[in-house]
Amino acid sequence: MTMPPVPGHIWWHSALDAQNHLYPVRDEDDEPEDGIYEAACEKLVVKDKLVREEYGPYCHDCLLKLGRHQAARLEDHLNNYVSTYDDSKSAQDPAS
C-alpha cells in the first residue's frame, strides 16, 4: 500500500527503524551538506540509511503530523469560507 501524494513531501523508507517517514521534497542535487535528512516527525536519518522508496509500515508520528497539517488547512478553508446560505428562514419561529 502507498499513501496518496502529499504536496511538497515524499515518503521514504528509513533502514534505521524500517518505517516510511515523510520528508520535504528535494532535488537530487539539493542534498543536505551533512548528509542528514529530517523527517516530519523530527527523526534524523543519514543518507546511507535512507531508501528512496516507499514500502513497509508508516511512521505513526509522521502520520499524526500530516493529519494535523491537513486539519489546519481544512480549518483555515472553513474559516475563510463565505456562506451563501440564507439562514434568516431558520431563525424564524416555527409556530409563526
Q: Is residue 86 part of a domain?
A: no
C-alpha cell read off for 45: 536519518
User: Is 66 a member of any domain?
Assistant: yes
Are the C-beta atoms of 4 and 11 separated by less than 8 Å? Answer: no
Do the domain assignments include residue 16?
Answer: yes
Could you give the number of structural domains in the chain? 1
Query: Is 88 inside a domain boundary?
Result: no
pLDDT in tens, the chain (96 residues): 677 778 888 999 999 999 999 998 877 677 888 889 999 999 999 999 999 888 999 999 999 998 888 888 777 777 776 554 455 555 555 555
Q: Are 14 and 37 in contact (CB under 8 A)?
A: no
Structural domain of 42? 9-80
How far is the CA of 55 from the CAs of 13, 19, 30, 46, 52, in angstroms?
7, 8, 24, 18, 10
Looking at residue 83, its pLDDT comes to 52
